[in-house]
Structure 1
Amino acid sequence: MNQIRSHYPVVVVGGGPVGLASSLMLSRLGVEHLLLERHEGTSIHPKAVGLNQRTVEILRQLGLGEELAAAAAPPSTVSRTGWYTSFGGSTELHGREIASRDAWGGGQYAEEYAAASPAPYTILPQIRLEPLLRATAEAQPQADVRFATGVTALAPDADGADVTVLVDGHEQVVRADYVVGADGGRMVADALGVTVSGPTNLVDMVSAHFGADLTDAVPSRENLISWFVNPDHGGSIGSGYLYHLGPWDEQGRSEEWVFACGFLADDPDRFDEEAMAARIGRSLGLPDLEVDLHSISHWYIQSVVADSFTEGRCFLVGDAAHRIPPWGALGLNTGVQDAHNLTWKIALALADPRTAGLLDSYEQERRPVAQSVAASSLHNFQSHGGVIDAAIGLRPDLPPEEGWERLRTLWSGSEEGQRLQAALDEAVAFMDREFHAHGAENGFAYVDGALCPDPEASALPEDTLVYRPTTRPGHHVPHAWLEGRGSRCSTLDLPAPGRFALLVDAEADTWRAAVDGVDHPLAGLLDVVAVGAGGSWEDPDGSWSSLREVGPGGAVLVRPDTVVAWRSTDLPADPAAALGAALAEVLEPASDLARDPAREPA
């Protein structure tokens, strides 16, 4: 391998999924960069497993769609989730299903999710995702990817930063114009003096990655996650949960699994492999299960967000910027989406310093999203065990025999049992906030930032559960399938790498003339894309026409990250002036400043 150079336009610190995704995005944008990861290889712990549609859209944009689909869990194995007393046991109350439901875009939600995106909700454990990202990142000519290479110091200044790198036991200083901190908060945030806010160390969790033959034990092969509610273990958190990791055979049977549960902080069994294997057997109700333990991971549930995402030309993404409870599977996803927001802005700033003002919008846009996600994920964690257990009448301090009696009553058919069942049904429906949070996954929007809002409030009211496609500025452009050039594409595919797309219909020539007449740094990065009769792309079933929310003479300006920057509901009297004013506002983000009415669309 060649020597590390003394200067790179961008240095990415951290080679986890967010750092590697950042590298791939920079390569796609033609930006040379150095990625530094202190570990010798990718993660040995499964960690995150769920990739929501927004994240898969991004990875698909990076050319990884087919690879993801080939490596991911079969959709039929991840469409539901269920709660059980155990998988086996000695009484009629053991091995019982308490409840189950559709989840993650499966079952009754499949049509809704398919209409919202060209990409499916995908289950691919981090231990299988990271090697795919690494191999692809290392193959890019713009990337210098270095594992087993740590960062020992970071000294930012007005023009970039000096990054001290430890290479083969020797320190070397690398100059970077920009730094992306994707190291999980281990070093970059501290070096920048960035603090975090939010609750930490809420619960001490232990995860075990193991191999076992559970073919005949798992009640439903449709379940990604099986949750245990066992009075002998104090209810949900103590009983733990199980999910499959693959690899999967043609019937969807998994070879490997993760079991996780809460431990007391002083419990000596937390890292004892023999004790952990026994704990798995007890929770599953399979004491004779042969467990091949691969690794044990210890982690605390926390919900923290950095007080700043930006310091000069250094930026925090992923866990360096926010550490989010896994309930809702939004942590890794939010990190990849951070990078998607940031990297195109860095690329433009490097190509034309006049566009560097776009970087001011990174924190402005992403920090509120992180705060919202952290709050909702914390709520999911706090309510998950509580709401299911409370519906049945279980408490951690309840004697086990009383807990089992509550379950016996639940299934008794008695009047009290029917009351408990109704409460349980209500609790399971309440879990939409975790298992059907399509609004949180797809519908996040930017209120302020690199956008020019409509005269009325730009963003729709936040709704965790319902995704409402809209072309309002700050929202992602809605997905619709288009046809042309002998193929089909999604509206999300229309912006070229690092470029804006102005989506128009009947007045395409007028808008092209308007773009040519605008004297602005962003105007040269703008492609007019005609969708409709006589355009480059046709709208075969009228989906785009019904979603675009502008008239035939209007326009929708889409950023490189597929976020709507501005729209004009019809053809303005002076299209060039309206477009130029909008681009000026996009380039100069303003949070609390009054908007200039002259800049608003027609």
Structure 2
Amino acid sequence: MTDVDVLVVGGGPTGLTLACELARRGVTFRVIDRSPEFHHQSRGKGIQPRSLEVFDDLGVVQDFLDAGASEMPARIHMDRRFIAELHLLAGARSRPDVPYPTLVLLPQWRTEQILRARLAELGGHVERGLRLTGLKQSDSQVVAQLATGEVIHASYLVGCDGGGSAVREAAGITFPGLVSETEHYLLGDVEVDGLPRDGSYVWYAADESSVGLALLPGTSAWQFGLTVRPGEEGAGQEPSLELFQRLFAQRTGRTDVRLHNATWLSRFSYKVRLADRYRAGRVFIAGDAAHVHPIAGGLGMNTGIQDAYNLGWKLALAVRGQAPHSLLDTYERERRPVAESVLKTSGAGMTALFSTKPLMTFLRDWIILPLMRNPAVTRAIVSKTSQLSVNYRDSELSVGDKGKVRPGDRAPDSPCRHPVTGERSRLFDLFRGPHFTLLQFDAVVPGLAECLDRLHGNDIRVYQLESGPPSRRYGAGRGTLVLVRPDGYVAVRTRSGDAVVDYLKTILVA
């Protein structure tokens, strides 16, 4: 007998996203976090477009758009000399297929605050000050031991508890990768006098040092970041406001800028690590517990959010007995390659921005930065890190015909007429919720909707779309059927109603 269906360990963005997913599917769960209080730290400060689409599905995207900012020029200096102002986030406009085209900047504590509020609306909450000390598992359950002496029995356990994951260690999952012993970063949240509050700043130097100040929208604070190597001042020292101020003045030459009112001071090493597996029996890991990234583009946090989005619907079907447990194996097979790719992308981004080796210096100063002044180039860079191109084309869950939008691709948005009400709508409005969605383009397969309703009820919704923007966006001719997964990826593209029925029989128990 279990206490809950799922125990989520870790109440950060990954754990909260997963909890919201489980809550709206009627799965019983608990979310525990070892910290006694909610933090107020900036940490990962950017929400990528694909994560905004996740939050659209969860019903909170407008909260993120209202709280954050997408217009933030970056003023780049080299050896104390101003060399460029980059507008990476400017000029991007929503498109019919991409309603959220650019990164939204806001501190991580605000992201978590919004997700906690949504979780509360769904009937859940985070239990603070509860630390996992051990776990055991059998064929039917996981038994989690807490430092308080409490024992929790769950059908499944998911570790969303960060890079130092107690869940990962207790489950015996290894975490290979690179941890730099020669360089680390000082990071913190401070208020700043002496700089206009209309952009962010980076200073590079020929000795390979760097320092940056990034404005945190919706607050009076800035995120301060600085690289430190062995032998330099700051190496081995505990972070302090006085140290931050002294190093800032030394590296920028700006003695007129004052840092004050620090609310968070931290240090961390350059790490690139990827778990050898994401599952050990009934225990899963997600987010930083599974992959640790350099601090480029907030890609680590965003990848974790999408880990949770991928795992949530699969766990819900498994615990309700509506799907074979083998469905849960597709979580690792789909998400681990994504993290592997993101690690390469973020590592390359750090090298391009921070390295002062002669070749990289030449490329950055004479090719990369001049190109980045071109709005078309900056839009391309933002698009590359948006995670909208992430796909599961090689997954066993992606079957059927190829086309403009292939099985395994993100299902794009499009304006449409609502098939039931006739009002103006969007495909994302049809997708929103915990169900599969079948789009029938221009023609109805007789009896298919009734068959699917009889077999699967509310787990699938069937819509007929007339010729128009959606069919052009999907490259769908008359009679094309597109089945969209609950997490917004194309599962099946076909012209056969039997193919859809047979596919769902492998995923959903009638």
The residue that corresponds to 1:259 in the other structure is 224
2:384 equivalent to 1:449: no
The residue that corresponds to 1:545 in the other structure is 471
Alignment of 1:271-290 (within 5 A): 271-290=239-258
CA distance in 2: counterparts of 1:264 and 1:117, whole angstroms:
41
In the TM superposition, residue 102 of structure 1 has moved relative to its aligned partner by: 3.0
Counterpart residue type for residue 491 of structure 2: A
The residue that corresponds to 1:464 in the other structure is none
In the TM superposition, residue 136 of structure 1 has moved relative to its aligned partner by: 3.0
The residue that corresponds to 2:370 in the other structure is 425
Alignment of 1:1-80 (within 5 A): 7-73=3-69, 75-76=70-71, 78=72, 80=73
TM-score when scaled to structure 1? 0.76
In the TM superposition, residue 81 of structure 1 has moved relative to its aligned partner by: 2.6
2:114 equivalent to 1:188: no
CA contact (8 A) 1:327 1:434 kept: no
2:100 equivalent to 1:119: yes
In structure 2, the CA distance between the partners of 1:277 and 1:431, relative to structure 1 (3 Å rule), is farther
CA contact (8 A) 1:565 1:586 kept: no
The residue that corresponds to 2:461 in the other structure is 527
Pick the aligned partner of 1:320 from 277, 281, 289: 289
1:472-524 residue CA offsets vs partner (Å, 9 max, x unmatched)? 0111101112233375443233235321100113223x25x125446997687
2:215 match: secondary structure = strand
The residue that corresponds to 1:97 in the other structure is 82
The residue that corresponds to 2:408 in the other structure is 474
The residue that corresponds to 2:187 in the other structure is 207
TM-score when scaled to structure 2? 0.89
The residue that corresponds to 2:76 in the other structure is 83
Counterpart residue type for residue 127 of structure 1: W
In the TM superposition, residue 132 of structure 1 has moved relative to its aligned partner by: 2.3
In structure 2, the CA distance between the partners of 1:350 and 1:426, relative to structure 1 (3 Å rule), is same
1:297 match: secondary structure = strand
In the TM superposition, residue 41 of structure 1 has moved relative to its aligned partner by: 2.2
Counterpart residue type for residue 131 of structure 1: Q
In the TM superposition, residue 268 of structure 1 has moved relative to its aligned partner by: 4.1
The residue that corresponds to 2:269 in the other structure is 300
Pick the aligned partner of 2:146 from 165, 170, 173: 165
In the TM superposition, residue 394 of structure 1 has moved relative to its aligned partner by: 11
2:298 match: secondary structure = coil
2:345 equivalent to 1:366: no
Counterpart residue type for residue 128 of structure 1: R
2:329 match: secondary structure = helix
Pick the aligned partner of 2:201 from 219, 223, 226: 226
1:494 match: secondary structure = helix
CA distance in 1: counterparts of 2:251 and 2:139, whole angstroms:
55
The residue that corresponds to 2:155 in the other structure is 177
C-alpha RMSD of matched pairs (Å) = 3.1
In the TM superposition, residue 427 of structure 1 has moved relative to its aligned partner by: 7.9
2:487 equivalent to 1:561: yes
CA distance in 1: counterparts of 2:294 and 2:377, whole angstroms:
15
In the TM superposition, residue 550 of structure 1 has moved relative to its aligned partner by: 2.2
1:56-109 residue CA offsets vs partner (Å, 9 max, x unmatched)? 111122121222122113x33x2x3331148xxxxxxx5x421233314x22xx
In the TM superposition, residue 18 of structure 1 has moved relative to its aligned partner by: 0.9
Pick the aligned partner of 1:133 from 110, 115, 130: 115
1:331-386 residue CA offsets vs partner (Å, 9 max, x unmatched)? 11100000000101111112225443321211111011111111111111122223
CA contact (8 A) 1:33 1:144 kept: no
Greater Cα offset, 558-567 or 519-528: 519-528
CA contact (8 A) 1:15 1:42 kept: no
In structure 2, the CA distance between the partners of 1:102 and 1:548, relative to structure 1 (3 Å rule), is same
Counterpart residue type for residue 529 of structure 1: Y
Pick the aligned partner of 1:348 from 305, 317, 322: 317
1:247 match: secondary structure = coil
Unaligned runs of 5+ in 1: 87-93, 249-254, 396-419, 459-469, 534-541, 589-602
CA distance in 2: counterparts of 1:24 and 1:316, whole angstroms:
17
CA contact (8 A) 2:135 2:143 kept: yes
Unaligned runs of 5+ in 2: none
1:236-274 residue CA offsets vs partner (Å, 9 max, x unmatched)? xx12222011335xxxxxx21111111124624452331
Counterpart residue type for residue 485 of structure 2: R
2:440 equivalent to 1:504: yes
In the TM superposition, residue 422 of structure 1 has moved relative to its aligned partner by: 5.9
Greater Cα offset, 200-209 or 121-130: 200-209
CA distance in 2: counterparts of 1:531 and 1:550, whole angstroms:
10
1:263-300 residue CA offsets vs partner (Å, 9 max, x unmatched)? 12462445233121222233443214332122211111
CA contact (8 A) 1:520 1:583 kept: no
In structure 2, the CA distance between the partners of 1:117 and 1:427, relative to structure 1 (3 Å rule), is closer
CA contact (8 A) 2:452 2:460 kept: no
In structure 2, the CA distance between the partners of 1:437 and 1:503, relative to structure 1 (3 Å rule), is same
Greater Cα offset, 357-366 or 542-551: 542-551
1:150-180 residue CA offsets vs partner (Å, 9 max, x unmatched)? 11111122212001123xxx31111001111
CA contact (8 A) 1:160 1:314 kept: no
Greater Cα offset, 517-526 or 275-284: 517-526
CA contact (8 A) 1:46 1:126 kept: yes
CA contact (8 A) 2:136 2:144 kept: yes
In structure 2, the CA distance between the partners of 1:148 and 1:164, relative to structure 1 (3 Å rule), is same
CA contact (8 A) 1:197 1:307 kept: yes
CA distance in 1: counterparts of 2:86 and 2:355, whole angstroms:
18
| Residue identity (%) | 28
In structure 2, the CA distance between the partners of 1:280 and 1:423, relative to structure 1 (3 Å rule), is closer
CA distance in 2: counterparts of 1:562 and 1:289, whole angstroms:
47
CA distance in 1: counterparts of 2:453 and 2:363, whole angstroms:
67
Counterpart residue type for residue 384 of structure 2: H
Pick the aligned partner of 2:218 from 235, 247, 251: 247
CA contact (8 A) 2:249 2:255 kept: yes
Counterpart residue type for residue 475 of structure 1: D
1:198-232 residue CA offsets vs partner (Å, 9 max, x unmatched)? 2223631111210123444x6xx2x4x4221234x
Counterpart residue type for residue 306 of structure 1: A
